[in-house]
Chains A and B, each alone.
Chain A
Amino acid sequence: MITLSFLKLLENEGFGKIDVDLFYQKLTLDKKGLYIADIGDGIERHSRDTQGYELLARGKNDTDGYKLLTEIRRFLVNNYQNICELPPVPPITSTNYTNVELSKPSTITNVGLDANNRIIYSMTGTIIFKEK
């Protein structure tokens, strides 16, 4: 659920609204917005865990998704040292994550065209965290 918590952070920062244009693990939903998916197995790193994530953006037009990911990337690059906690997502989960360390996100990749001729963009990163 760490990636859902991360999505909540993006919602709190004004990048969209969960289940409206921010989607958790719903890659098959054919809607415009930002999708997050876990990638890889969680790895234990001393007293903390690591989870990889992928953000996939589907925009209104060819550049919309790219712009959104660029804004998120800029936010994460500027703030990754300041974000030490990730919020709970009630009523789904009340878990709080502390000792958070967000890695610098990857560059943005063009994945290709979907069935409705919209370009899909992708960006990956990792979250190191401790579950409270």
Chain B
Amino acid sequence: MGFKSNSRQWLTNESMVLKRTERTIGQVIKNRANMIAPVLSGDLVESGRVVDDPLGGVSVIYGGASAPHARRRHFENKLHPQTLNYLKRAGDSVKKEGIKKYMDMNR
């Protein structure tokens, strides 16, 4: 009679769930930011992407060569002030919902 621990398998599974959850949350934030970001030429919303962070986790990034104004538009917009902090607001809306919902989705 003995007991065999499966904790290593459990840890592997949970790590995979967490990794998938991070990516899901990144995509949801990007989707939502796309909907509420200011649109003039469309370059800003087209520049949105989810990238794996080498230090762990994922990052949602706007800007680059095609949209050098992304950072400025996040903090300054006289024409459409309601779109200020579009990325932060998208992130906050996901934060409000909590991580459990997204972890369940990825189990």
Contact = CB atoms under 8 A, between A and B. Distances in A.
Interface string B3-44: 000000000000000001001100110011011111100100
Contacts of B89: 111-112
A56 interface: yes
A115 B90 contact: no
Contacts, number: 81
B97 A106 contact: yes
Given A112-B93, A113-B82, A114-B83, A35 B35 contact: yes
Interface residues of B, number: 29
A72 B42 CA distance: 29
Contacts of A30: 39
B45 interface: yes
A39 B82 CA distance: 26
Interface of B: 20, 23-24, 27-28, 31-32, 34-39, 42, 45-46, 80, 82-83, 86, 89-90, 93, 96-97, 101-102, 105-106
Interface in A87-125: 106, 109-115, 117, 120, 122, 124
B28 A28 contact: no
A41 to B, nearest CB: 6
A126 B106 CA distance: 9
Contacts of A109: 93, 96-97
A37 interface: yes
A113 B90 CA distance: 10
A120 to B, nearest CB: 5
A30 B40 CA distance: 10
B105 A124 contact: yes
A120 B36 contact: yes
Given A39-B27, A112-B89, A56 B38 contact: no
